[in-house]
Amino acid sequence: MESLHPRIRLLWIAQTAILAAVLGAVLVAVDRWLVPVPTAGLVGIVAVAAVLGIAYAVRLYQIWQFELQGDALYLERGVITFVETAVPFVRVQHVDTQFGPIERVLGLSSVVVYTAGSRNADVRIPGLTPDRARRLQDTLRELAVESEADDAV
């Protein structure tokens, strides 16, 4: 099983930080215009949110794993709900590599695998180096072409 790049934790922590900042801003707004919120409580709530977020990011990194198996791309992920997904290569419609602004700064990239399914129709593997992402994309594309089914929808 392959783990994600350790820097992905920074991405998730950054996302948490943004959320915590938004939460803080909302609380400040509530304090200003609606009901007074004690400063200690405000800081406390934001701090708890941030700590929970960081713990979540660390745990998610520990859990997130994927593997190219004989017939399918296999992924394990999820802190609250643990999900094991198999995406058979035959079912791969197309494969993207993507990166957002924070990922770009961190030098990370994601691979998104699309199937024709209704739910889980797109499976994202975040936290890959751009090089690894491109290699994975190529491999998946080759495997998908190799095993193409004749019963396309």
C-beta of 101 vs 151, nearer to another protein? 151
**Burial environment of residue 93 by CB neighbours within 10 A (0 to 12, 13 to 18, 19 or more):** middle
CB of 87 to another protein, least distance (A): 5
CB of 79 to another protein, least distance (A): 9
C-beta of 51 vs 116, nearer to another protein? 116
Positions in the binding site for another protein (CB under 8 A): 71-72, 78, 80-88, 90-91, 115-121, 123, 149-153
CB of 2 to another protein, least distance (A): 19
Gap between the Cα atoms of 94 and 113, Å rounded? 6
Q: Tokens 């520990």 belong to which residue?
A: 62
